[in-house]
Structure 1
Amino acid sequence: MVYILETELLENKSVYFSLTKILGVNRFQSFLICKKLGLSYNCRLSKLTPDQIVKLIKLTESLNLLLNNNLKKSNIMLAKKLIQIKAYRGIRKLRGLPVRGQRTHTNAKTASKRN
């Protein structure tokens, strides 16, 4: 198993799909990373040489993306800011209700679980 940015990546999957396991990296960004390194997107992570793995780690760290813990912290700070300024979204989030205009008569169970 390979650890990149505190995330455990499975070796039997392709590089393209394993990079999406990192919080904050989507499929498009994963595709760009593979393209910059000159890797085929269906190349397995286990077939990479240690040198290629080091390049992969350096490239993911050098990108200006919010990843893992930084992304979680920014989301929490955004929610706290919304609650602090008493925005509508912040109040709904604080009460555990749907934030984006969904109905609450029948289908608000998932929003209550999430908060």
Structure 2
Amino acid sequence: MMTKTVAIISALAVAVIANPTIGYAGYFYTDCTTPSIDAANAYAGSCVNVEDFPIKSFTAYVESGSCADGTSAVLNTYTASGCDDSTLFETVSVDSEKQCFAADVTLVSLKAECV
């Protein structure tokens, strides 16, 4: 029984390492000047809808977890809900340092991935 428990915990640990959570915040102003108007966490492989507000910039960074060796975390940003590839605005590479990106757009959904 102990061996099965250890195997399950090990498998979960590997899954967490390979699945980053990306922190996102959208801003009314350029250069990510406060206040932010929207914030969300994008989990690897799943789509998250965000507020439907026009923004001028956004921040993104890997909040927790990491990608498997040989891959890097990216945040895909979309102009419609549901993370439909036909509405892809921009894909940005992210790491653990919070970065500011210019965006004169209304973002509506986000998806984190390892590529």
Q: TM-score range by the shorter chain?
A: under 0.3
Query: Between Structure 1 and Structure 2, which shows a larger proportion of helix residues?
Result: 1
State the TM-score, normalized to the length of structure 1.
Answer: 0.26
Query: Between Structure 1 and Structure 2, which shows a larger proportion of strand residues?
Result: 2
Structure of greater relative contact order (alpha carbons < 8 Å, 6+ residues apart): 2
State the TM-score, normalized to the length of structure 2.
Answer: 0.26
Structure possessing the higher radius of gyration over alpha carbons: 1
